[in-house]
């Protein structure tokens, strides 16, 4: 996997830097809610003398349906897009996932660039080379590893993002703080929040794990990034994806912290730090209307739980995350009750 270059700053400065090394055309694939931002990108490319095409995807998870990818493939075919050309994803994680997969599959792989426009996409989805669409059998089941050539991080793009989408991204930022970089927690605890630093440090954490295990093949390496996700994913499934990912993993992280405390690894103070940081972000830390028996099968079937055994990412201390296996169901139930409203 080739290393991705990550450029920080306004796109008016970073786009010229990136296109200098490119040949061919650029296909700007954007979330249809980001029409004005896509116009800005097209204008910049025009000024640089780069021939470009643009293509709008529906907003949200609909962009990750096979029918949408198929429409995009047809567009690439009609326009004779070839290996000299580059796709440019402008949008949140849904757009980077589908555009990355289109780039991975078109002509057995062409270049792509990510310009993430949500906080979650900046710190998570656009980094690490995982691309995917959804299947009727589950989210992100069809995909590949295909790294973008560059990721352009322009925090001014976040100005129009809703408070709930900011909170969604900050849950992943907090996760990076708990598993690896406690300075992130300090930044989260300080107002006004320094988003530039929060984003840069979170990306550094994600890259650290990605570079150590690019294709998620080594148990307990890239897997650490799933802190809070075992219960989080189970809640999302039981709630049929009506709860935001950030909210679900916030509850999952409090659960993981409670479990780490129950097993004697961390003190109560660190559990309370989870509660306080996540509440400050605007996320709930307890769950309503979900029973332990409903989430348990999903936790045991989670991709980290090889062979149906329980397998959790827990904290042995702040910034010391490890895999812990085979925790008794009774202990899981007792801990789950602590995150139940």
Which stretches of the chain bind ligand NAD, using CB under 6 A?
31, 33-34, 59-61, 64, 91-95, 97, 117-118, 120-121, 124-125, 128, 130, 139-140, 157-158, 160-161, 165, 168
Q: CB nearer to ligand NAD: give 113 or 324.
A: 113
Smallest separation, CB 129 to ligand NAD (Å): 8
Give the nearest distance from C-beta 248 to ligand NAD in angstroms: 12
CB-nearer residue toward ligand NAD: 33 or 200: 33
Contacts of 267 (CB under 8 A, 6+ apart): 261
Supply the minimum distance, in Å, between the C-beta of residue 149 and ligand NAD. 16
DSSP lists the bridge partners of residue 150 as 5, 113
Residue whose CB is less far from ligand NAD, 7 or 161: 161
Coil, strand or helix at 165: helix
CB 175 within 8 A of CB 153: no
| 137 to 65, 142, 204, 301: CA distances (angstroms) | 12, 10, 33, 14
Report how far apart the first and last C-alpha atoms of the chain are (Å, whole number). 44
Q: Please state the closest distance from residue 156 (CB atom) to ligand NAD, in A.
A: 9
**Which CB, 125 or 257, lies closer to ligand NAD?**
125
158 vs 176, beta carbon nearer ligand NAD: 158
- Beta carbon nearer to ligand NAD, 147 or 310: 147
Least CB distance from residue 162 to ligand NAD, whole Å? 7
Provide the 3-class DSSP secondary structure of residue 81: coil
CA 118 – CA 125 distance, rounded (Å): 9
Q: Is 139 exposed, middle or buried (0-12, 13-18, 19+ CB in 10 A)?
A: middle
Q: Write down the least CB distance from residue 208 to ligand NAD, Å.
A: 15
Strands 311-317 and 320-325: antiparallel
């Amino acid at each position: 996997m080739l290393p991705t270059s990550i450029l920080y700053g306004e796109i008016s400065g970073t786009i010229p830097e990136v296109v200098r090394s490119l040949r061919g055309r650029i296909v700007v694939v954007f979330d249809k809610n980001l029409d004005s931002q896509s116009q800005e990108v097209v204008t910049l490319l025009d000024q640089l003398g780069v021939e470009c095409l643009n293509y709008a995807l529906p907003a949200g998870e609909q962009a990750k349906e096979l029918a949408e990818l198929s429409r995009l493939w047809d567009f690439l075919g009609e326009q004779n897009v070839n290996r000299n050309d580059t796709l440019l994803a402008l949008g949140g994680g849904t757009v980077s996932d589908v555009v990355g997969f289109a780039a991975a599959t078109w002509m057995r792989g062409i270049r792509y660039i990510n310009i993430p426009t949500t906080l979650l996409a900046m710190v998570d989805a656009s980094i690490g080379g995982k691309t995917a669409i959804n299947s009727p059998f589950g989210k992100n089941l069809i995909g590949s590893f295909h790294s973008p050539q560059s990721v352009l991080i322009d925090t001014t793009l976040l100005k129009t993002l809703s408070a709930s989408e900011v909170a969604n991204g900050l849950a992943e930022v907090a996760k990076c703080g708990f598993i690896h970089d406690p300075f992130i927690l300090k930044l989260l605890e300080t107002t006004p929040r320094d988003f530039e630093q929060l984003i840069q440090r979170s990306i550094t954490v994600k890259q650290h794990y990605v570079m150590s295990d690019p294709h998620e093949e080594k148990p307990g390496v890239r897997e650490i990034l799933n802190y809070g996700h075992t219960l989080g994913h189970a809640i999302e499934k039981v709630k049929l994806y009506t709860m935001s990912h950030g909210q679900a993993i916030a509850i999952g992280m409090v659960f993981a912290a409670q479990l780490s405390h129950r097993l004697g690894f961390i003190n109560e103070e660190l559990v309370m730090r989870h509660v306080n940081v996540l509440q400050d972000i605007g996320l709930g830390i307890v769950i309503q209307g979900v029973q332990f028996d409903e989430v348990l099968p999903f936790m045991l079937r989670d991709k980290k739980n090889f062979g149906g055994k329980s397998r959790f990412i827990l904290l042995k201390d702040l910034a010391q995350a490890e895999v812990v296996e085979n925790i008794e169901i009774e202990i899981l139930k007792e801990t789950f009750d602590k995150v139940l409203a």
